[in-house]
Structure 1
Amino acid sequence: MRLKSSALVIFFLCMSTTNAQEKINNKYYGHLRYNHVSPYIQLAGIYPMNENDALSTSHYIFKYNKNKELVEIINNHYFTEKIHPLASIGAYKIRISHEEDKEIRTFFDINGKRISNDRKVYKEVFYKDKKGSYSKLEFFDLNDKPMESNWGISEYYWYKNKKMIIEKRYNLNKIPKNISNYFEFGITGIVLNHDGNPKATYNLNQDLKITNNSVGIASYQDTYDKKANHIKYSYHDDNNNLVMSQSGFSVGTKEYDTEGNHIKETHFDHNMKFIRDREIINNQHISLSKIASQKDSLEIKRISLGYLIALQELKPELMNEVMNDSLNKVTVGYSRKYNKEISTSIAKEEMIQNANSWNKSNTKFPIKPKNDVRILDIYDRIATVKLFSDNWVEYLHLIKIDNKWSIINLLWQHKNVKQYPY
């Protein structure tokens, strides 16, 4: 059936409106809000950007339905900074469905296959109270059977008590669990600030009174800046005095660049005396390695030539020195059995054996071998070398571990290409 021209115009207008509406319902963010408190904290994007800018950098896509409910998050975040499990999606995509009193999250890889998230669970079901706040969270496996997370938790329960959100956690046997595997808070009271960021998390006893845990910590408190960067956290006792944490500091401060990337952290004791600081490394901020030193260049040449000298002069000890324990030496060859070209590989132990006996007749090399090594590239702890000898052309990869260079990969073929039947 053919549509009339007016009908076609209406059809394409409707399609354009739908596509435009879909784009309006997509929001792009450079980061997720940091959270080390609880899954009660809402998922939120920070550092908003437009679609064009998102194409050229790491980002998340938040998708909303016509009711302005979040229904999908696509994870295009590829920076390598360490992310807390509660602040990480742990999947390429989260799909979120909404029922009357439930929010259901499922997780997928880039091919649409169901996977687990960073909590190692396959489905999260949040239950809501009459006011729309989370009241319970359950974890399920691929068969919709209840399961425990990698922290041994299967259920979270929340309810409000004065200014606090009370949180309790249980495993599949209904045994209470700590807030995480590495921090001893049992029942917790969570206080949020006006924009939903966690402000303080308290360790509570059965009567919901603030109490010290076994190492004297009763709360940790968080500060966020206007851009929702997590800029400070601190540990306190039940009198709100600063105390030392199990990690050996009382206060941690965090610094960010203009794009919201975490770049530095500083630790202080309970008297705000400086303890240490460190740069936060990720692949967004990489300084090129310094130009290789003359010492490194000479050592790379020595190690590379050492491999040939070990074969020529029957020096297994030298072969052991220059070859990495994970060596993979690959040979380009021809199989008469299969009538085709193949590659074969040998490991370090066989190379040591070759150094012990392969040239025992002293007929494998000229009296004065021509060994030539050319360093093609050095980057910090890795290097690429091209090796020429009377017999072979070879490419070597070297690696520097514990301040010692060694050959970890070796690919070779005969210098005389007429030896290959092609």
Structure 2
Amino acid sequence: MCNVQRGQQAEGPIAGRSLAYIELRPDGHFTIALLRPLAAFDKGNFRMKRAFLLVWLLVPFLAQAADLTDEQHIERAVRDYIESQHQADPLRMARGIDPTLAKRTYWRAADGSEFIINTDYDAMLKVARNYNKDGTRFPAHPRVDIRILDIDQRVATVKLNADEWIDYMHLYKNDHSEWKIVNVLWQYHDTTRQVSKK
């Protein structure tokens, strides 16, 4: 990626035929550099005019991305987690959770003993891909109630109420300024379901 500062010409392959260079960084900030002088927009160069119009139209959307708050980024990560299950979309799940994810709940075995079930990143991608593949696991308008309980710099705690269960989540902001879910502790609303069938 290249930033073009005032008074400098663009260098490298982007300076060949490009009209403008846009860099959108993970922290939401962006840089736009015009690589051609405005005099280049003569009547016969429709391609350049069209490209310039595209850049002009993109600016408000890039500005909106830059203005997202931590709360909005956190909510998006949580929505990726739950809505990826509604929509059978593993890519959204991957965007919301960290590769080191640890998801846990307690469970009672058929013999009465209790143990902890652990679910990892790869298993959650499979859940997103397969759990609601036939579209029958959730109501037409699924419940998604997100409460951000606390944010302290780069860590946050969230409670998610879904149709059949609750999730308590820990998120952190990684070194790319992306909020990711690293821990989930979940429980069915009906806790009698947390038992293996005999």
Q: TM-score, normalised by structure 1?
A: 0.29
Structure-1 separation of matches of 2:119 and 2:191: 22
- Listed as ranges, the matches of 1:19-38 within 5 Å are none
Alignment root-mean-square deviation, CA: 1.6
Quick one: distance in 2 between partners of 1:363 and 1:334? Answer: 26
For residues 132 and 194 of structure 2, the distance between their equivalents in structure 1, rounded to whole angstroms, comes to 23
Conserved 8 A contact 2:158-2:170: yes
How far off its partner does 1:361 sit?
Answer: 1.8
Q: Which one of the candidate residues 345, 358, 373 is aligned to 2:131?
A: 358
Among 147, 150, 158, the alignment partner of 1:385 is 158
Q: Aligned runs of 1:13-52 on 2, under 5 Å?
A: none
Q: Residue 405 of structure 1 aligns with which residue? A: 179
Distance 1:333 1:388 in 2: 20
Contiguous gaps of at least 5 residues in structure 1: 1-292
Partner of 2:147: 374
1:398 maps to a residue whose letter is L
Deviations 1:142-191 (A, max 9, x none): xxxxxxxxxxxxxxxxxxxxxxxxxxxxxxxxxxxxxxxxxxxxxxxxxx
The TM-score, its normalising length taken from structure 2, stands at 0.61
Q: Is the 8 A contact 2:171 2:181 kept in 1?
A: yes
Question: Partners of 1:343 and 1:418 in 2: how far apart?
Answer: 16
Match of 1:323 among 60, 72, 97: 97
Structure with the bigger RCO (C-alpha within 8 Å, sep 6+) is 2
Aligned position for 1:32: none
Give the CA deviation at 1:364: 1.3
Aligned-pair distance for 1:418?
3.5
Compute the displacement of 1:393 (Å): 0.9
Rounded to whole Å, the distance in 2 between the matches of 1:294 and 1:362 is: 32
1:345 pairs with 109, 113, 118, which one?
118
C-alpha contact (below 8 Å) 2:106/2:194 kept by paired residues: no
1:410 maps to a residue whose letter is: V
Separation in structure 1 between the aligned mates of residue 101 and residue 109 of structure 2, nearest angstrom: 23
2:192, 2:86 → 1: CA distance? Answer: 24
Query: Is 1:296 the equivalent of 2:66?
Result: no
Question: If each structure's helix is expressed as a fraction of its own residues, which one has the higher value?
Answer: 2
Residue aligning to 1:290: none
Q: Runs in 1 of length 4+ with deviation above 2 angstroms?
A: 417-421
Please name the residue that 1:414 is paired with.
188
Secondary structure of the 1:390 match is coil
Alignment of 1:112-127 (within 5 A): none
